[in-house]
Every structure is written in structure tokens, then in C-alpha cells.
Structure 1
Amino acid sequence: MLKITKMMAVAATAAVMLTSCEKYDNELPSIAAIAVAGADFSTLEAAAIQGGVAVTLSNKNAGDPSGNFTVFAPTNAAFARLGLVDAGSLGVLQNSFLTNTLLYHVSNGNLLNSALTTGSTSGSALGGLTRRIITRGADKYINGSKILATDVKASNGTVHVIDKVLLATGTNIVASAQLLSTAKVFKNPELTFLVQAVVTSGLATVLSDPASNFTIYAPTDAAFRAAGFPNVAAVAAAPPAVLQQVLLNHAVGTGRFTSEQTGLTATTAGGGTLTYSAFNNGVFTIKSNGIMTPANMVIPDIQCSNGIVHVIDRVLLP
């Protein structure tokens, strides 16, 4: 679990360095050096090296007149929420996905905390994809990630510390699931059962429509097996109408990050009701009428071009 005292120490160290070197900006550590020096950023450091962005974040930003970057930096605990606990565990990811994910955390110029206002958006270095700023009580979020510390100065920009890794695919919900199912994200495919269910049910067109905007709860392969589907072939052989009813129970109109979910119930696209637990450390559980044990979030807050996907560990049976 994140130790806020360590995080405060990192921010305080940076502040002291800023005070003592305010006339000599090049004596501040670079963004990459802050990651190297901070005990809570060792996984980020390893990811930056593996993803090929460490050198870039060690230097001035040639693509911006200010020469600066802004980086939203996930802590070790943020990576651990995805099962990525050290440099070795990053090997389950494809390098191209890791690089794109890191770029989604980067902006050009200095984007200070004062500019992170509710309802505003922030561009990223990943193909111009944007992130949105959300306030929940006294806390501020970028997408579904809580901002823990702000305005840590570096010689080449600004660092904000966050508690979850930001994820975006740049494509629609169906194509995003297909990326996971064809080992474009994890080297071991995931969501293969879900992709087959979407195809067999005939819902692929609806869920890939750029004009749509859904929150989708996407069951893992293990969740489908636990629900009685031993393999992908069993999903393909299921009646399309049954699969459609089940899948519609996983879709809620309007794409919302976890930080934007305020009610305790929601009506699904199939007319069912989902019940949410209280918001807890950036996530909540989801229960449907057809299951006894609520589903947990495995990977929350994946931004797609037509909605938000939360990967869960149970099938939400109607």
C-alpha cells in the first residue's frame, strides 16, 4: 500500500532542490532522475527503460517551445494494482503497449495543478488522446487515477504523482477487447471468451459504433469459465439471444471512470439493475441479480474511443 510519507518526502526533496537552485534550473533533477531517486517509482523507472522513454524524459522536450514535459507518474503501488510489482513482472506486457501507455502519461509543456480544473481535459503524447480532470469530494483525479502530489519540479518539466496507471486504447470497445484477446497487450491473451460472446451475440456493431458511449464491465476468461463456459467453443455454441441478454447486462449508458460513479445502482442496456458498493480506494464492486458474490475490478478505467471499460472477475448474470 502506498506510503504517503514517502511520497511527501519525494515532493519535499524536490521543493528543497527548487528553492536552492531556483537561479540554476539545470541543477534540478530531470523527470527521469526523479523516478530513479524515488523509492516509490522503481517500477516506473523500469517501465520507462523497457518502454524506451527514459532517455526522452532525461532531456529537454524538443517538441515544445518551453522545453518541458508534464508527467503523471504512477507509484509502485499503482503498478502493483495491475499485478506489475517489479521490473521482471513487466515482461508480461508487449513493449509497444507499454510504450504507448507511458506516453499517455506525458504532456507537452508545464501543466501545473492550478490548470487541473474540474471538467477540463488534458492532451497526452499518445496520438493526441486526452485525459479528463474530475473532482470527487476533496480529491482530484485524472481519469480514474487519484492525484496524490502535484507540481514536483524537474529540470525538464513537472511531475504529478498518481495512484493508478492511466490506460487508453485509442480505439473502440470491441477493437480494444480484441487487442487484449490477440496478445497485443499481454503476451498471454485475455478477454478471448468475451470477444467470442460479442461476435456470436451480434452486438459487435453496436459496441463498435463511434457514436455510442458506454460503460462496459468486461469479464475475464476465468470469469466465463466460472460461469459455466469451459472454453471459447462453448461460447460460440451458445444461443445468440442468451449471450445478448447476458452481455447487455454488462453495459451501462454513458462512459464513466470509477471516479465519476456516484450512485449505488445503475440500469443496464438490457433493462437489468446493477448494484455498486461504496467507492473505495478508486474502485467498487458490482453485483447483478443473477450472482451471489459481487464482481471485483481487475483492471479499471480503460479509456476507449466510445466509452470506458472496467475488466471484472465475474460474469454479471441477469
Structure 2
Amino acid sequence: MKHLFLSGSLVKLLVVLLFSATMVSCKKDSTTTPVMPGTITAQVSAGSNFTLLKSAVVKAGLATTLDGTGPFTVFAPTDDAFTASGVTSSVIGSLPADQLKAILLYHTLGAKVMAADVPAGPNAKVVTAGGDSVFVTKNSGGVFVNGVNVVTADIAASNGVIHAISKVLFPPAGNIVEVASADTTFSFLVAAVVKASSGSTNVAAILSGGSILTVFAPTNNAFRAAGFATIDAVKAANANTLTSILTYHVIPGRIFSSDLTNGAQPATANGGKVTIGLSGSSATVKGNTNTSASNIIAANIMAKNGVIHVIDQVLLP
């Protein structure tokens, strides 16, 4: 019987060829087609932290729209964002579909805007799908829309992009005076504006005019703590004294909470200055003769001519 002997070099060559063929075969077997993301509607429906948003989208009749070709950008409130904004499942159920639609379109842009495309600097104006405007900012703290932070950016969708946000955005319901008048929390403030406007300065006209303003708005309890026990006490106060106090709560320009910096002293409409304090997620504002700083207890309430921040003390010049 004849025996076939292979040289050492030939054996090595065969081993290399067999190994190479195996690797090529494995690569072919492991190659898969990339899974494309779903539409914005599909991504929201699949997201475990977007259950309230999904309910709102369905009730508002926007599921088909956000399933369309787009492109869209959606600032998507998480379930925690809805809860933090007081919009529970029962609230969504009680709101008319048209009102929900207006709110959701205020979160939607008719273009794809990635986080990297947000302009650096404060408050670039962007028109929403509902025709209103939101203001986007990118700074060292992240990306913000109307002062509300983006908690997860650039969630891919086949027809645009989703940015998860920490609060629900509400379209402006009117100018600063109209927004304050619609909220019973500000009954004393509105009475003070009316009384002040009977003096030498029409404060109501300033707050409802065309100038863009930021207002630190004291609550009713803040007025009571400042010595105005009742609305009648506000109405009995000197008009010009009230004007001096009220215009001390007004800063020219639109300043969201994301624009505030610790130790800043912005000039107010009456020529004085207030002092901003930041500590973690808390913000304060202190008047010149206040013994302690006022807490900003609610921020970034939109008005057509500016923004309102709610405070728990009256600021004293």
C-alpha cells in the first residue's frame, strides 16, 4: 500500500486556507440588515416612559400625522414630565381633543432639528407646527426649549427626531396681564397692577404692550406676607408706590430659567437691580432691601410678550 506524505509547508498552507474559508463563511452568516427606527408615532408607542404622551397623541388625533413622511422634531414630555406639570391621565381624559392638539403641536416642529443643530446662545426663535413660537437654547447645561431641559436628545425616528423633555410646554394664553388675570394665584398682583395704572404710569399698558419682558410674579400669599392682608388693602395703597414696586419685578427681554446665572444682577424696569441665586436645581431672586431671597417656585410660564416666573416674596427696591 502506498502512503501519501504531505510536506510541513503544504500542511500549513492547507490549515491557513481552511481557516480563511471558515472566517469568510462566519462573516457571511453574521451579516444582518440594519433595523430602521419606526416613525415618531411608533417610537412614542413603544417607549415605556411615553405612555401619557401616547394617550394624548391618540386623543388629539395626531397619531396619523406623526406617522407621516415629515420630517418632524418632537419635544416629547416623559411620563414624569406630565406628572410634574400636573397633567395626569385623568386630566388628559378631561381635556377637549382640540385643546390637546394645540398643546401637542406646540411641541412639534415641521423640520428635523438634531441637538447638535441647535444654535449656541440663548433663545433662538423657532415656529412650531401649530404656528406659535418656541425658543431653543444650547449652553453648558445642555439643550433647552422655553427654558425646559432636554433629558434625552436625538431619539431616532424614520420621519424625524424626538427629544425627551422634563416638563410639558404650554402655548401662551395671552399677554402677561391676560395670563396673570386668568390665574387666581395672582389676584393680588392683578389688583396691584390695576391700582398702579391709575397713577402717573400705566403699568397695565407696559405689561400688555409690544415690549418683550420677564416678570417675577408674587403670589397672593407673597403679598399678604408683605403686609397687604386683603385685596382691598392693595386697592387702598398709593398708586405710585405700587408702580415703583411692580416695575422692580420686571426685566426687559425674555429670560428663561436656563438663562439665569448665579450672582447675576439684571437691571429692572424701575432702574434698580435684583440678585439671582442658584443652588442645584433651585433658583432665587432677591430685592435690594429684602432680608432674604425669594424662591422661584414655578418658572417659564409663557406669555405672548414674554415669560413669567412665580415667586414667594414681594421684591423690595
* TM-score bracket for the superposition, by shorter chain length: 0.7 to 0.9
The 3-state SS of whatever aligns with 1:234 is helix
CA distance in 2, matches of 1:288, 1:228: 16
The aligned residue for residue 62 of structure 2 is 56
AA at the equivalent of 2:206: V
The Cα of 1:95 is off from its aligned counterpart by: 7.5
* Deviation readout 1:40-92 (Å, 9 max, x if unpaired): 3344345445xx42x31354466xxx43432101223333443x273246689
Q: 2:147: which partner in 1?
A: 144
Q: Is the 8 A contact 1:122 1:132 kept in 2?
A: yes
Residue in 1 aligned with 2:288?
289
The 5-angstrom pairing of residues 73-88 of structure 1 reads 73-82=76-85, 84=86, 86-88=88-90
The aligned residue for residue 226 of structure 2 is 227
Amino acid at match of 1:102: L
| Residues 207-227 of structure 1: CA deviation (Å, up to 9, x unaligned) | 1111x2221101122322333
Q: Name the TM-score, length of structure 2 as normaliser.
A: 0.75
110-119 vs 137-146, which deviates more? 110-119
- Please report how far the alpha carbon of residue 156 of structure 1 lies from its aligned counterpart in structure 2 after TM superposition: 4.6
Aligned length: 277
- In 1, Cα distance between the equivalents of 2:196 and 2:172? 23
Partner of 1:280: 280
CA pair 154-236 structure 1, distance change in 2 beyond 3 A: same
1:194 aligns with 189
Are residues 1:70 and 2:73 paired? yes
Bigger shift: residues 91-100 or 300-309 = 91-100
Give, as a single letter, the amino acid of the residue that structure 2 aligns with 1:41.
F
Give 2:240's aligned amino acid: A
After TM superposition, give the deviation of residue 269 of structure 1 in Å.
1.8
The residue that corresponds to 2:35 in the other structure is: 21
Q: CA RMSD in A?
A: 3.0
Structure 1, residues 268-294: CA drift from partner, whole Å, max 9, x if none?
Answer: 22233311112633x511111343342
Offset at residue 159 of structure 1 (A): 0.9
Q: Which residue of 1 aligns with 2:132?
A: 129
Q: Residue 7 of structure 2 aligns with which residue? A: none
CA distance in 2: counterparts of 1:274 and 1:96, whole angstroms: 41
More RCO (CA 8 Å, sep 6+): 1
Identical amino acids, percent of aligned pairs: 35
**Who is 1:270 aligned against?**
270
TM-score normalised by the chain length of structure 1: 0.74
State how far apart, in whole Å, the 2-side matches of 1:160 and 1:310 are: 24
Alignment gaps of 5+ in structure 2: 1-32, 198-202
Task: Please point out which of 99, 102, 105 is paired with 1:100.
Answer: 102
Structure 1: 5+ residue runs without aligned partners?
A: 1-18, 182-188
| Cα separation, partners in 2 of 1:109 and 1:136, compared to 1, 3 Å | closer
Q: Secondary structure at the match of 1:161?
A: strand
Residue in structure 2 matching 1:154, options 133, 154, 157: 157
Q: Could you tell me how far 1:300 is from its partner in structure 2?
A: 0.9
Mapped partners of 2:97, 2:270: distance in 1: 38
